[in-house]
Amino acid sequence: MRKRDERRQGMAAVEFALLLPVMALLILLMVEGGNAMHTYSSLVEASREGARHVLMEGETADVEALVAAVVADLDPDKLSTNVTTDPDANTVTVEVSYVYELFGSKSGEGDSEGLFGNDEALTFVAQTTMPLP
């Protein structure tokens, strides 16, 4: 039987305590990155569907309602849709933008800092251009 070294007791707890903040930060960054990618992917899909809708229904189509329905899981107050037709190039462009706030941000609470500092909002923009028939 091996005799335990008394000086090494608690070493695993110390290593765990040193690595825990690093691992927690990595997990937080992975979750935030996945959420940001999901948001941008939803915006790209909404801009494509909006452009298809204009092609099918014409310029009078209610693209904003369709975009809002496609990205129903996002905050509609931070979402904006812009439809532009270019008669010279005979194209339609649908641009969807969203103000994305990082995890830990304290929106609407004055000048207080969130988890990552003051400047915590990113604007994601997805744009789709399609030729008109």
* pLDDT values of the chain reduced to their tens digit, one per residue, 133 residues: 666 677 777 888 899 999 999 999 999 999 999 999 999 999 999 999 999 999 998 877 799 999 999 999 999 999 999 999 999 999 999 999 999 998 766 555 555 555 555 566 899 999 999 998 8
**Residue 66 CB neighbour total at 10 angstroms:** 19
Q: How many domains does the chain have?
A: 1
Is residue 119 in a domain?
A: yes
Residue 111: predicted pLDDT: 52
pTM, two decimal places? 0.78
Residues in contact with 82: Cβ distance below 8 Å, sequence separation at least 6, in sequence order? 94, 95, 96, 97
Is residue 41 in a domain?
A: yes
Do 128 and 50 contact (CB within 8 A), yes or no? yes
Q: How far apart are the first and last CA of the chain?
A: 84
| CA 28 to the chain's CA centroid | 14
Residue 33 and residue 37: Cα distance in Å, rounded? 6
Is residue 1 in a domain?
A: no
Residue 118: predicted pLDDT: 54
Q: Is 6 helix (H, G, I), strand (E, B) or coil?
A: helix
Domain interval for residue 44: 9-131
Is residue 3 in a domain?
A: no
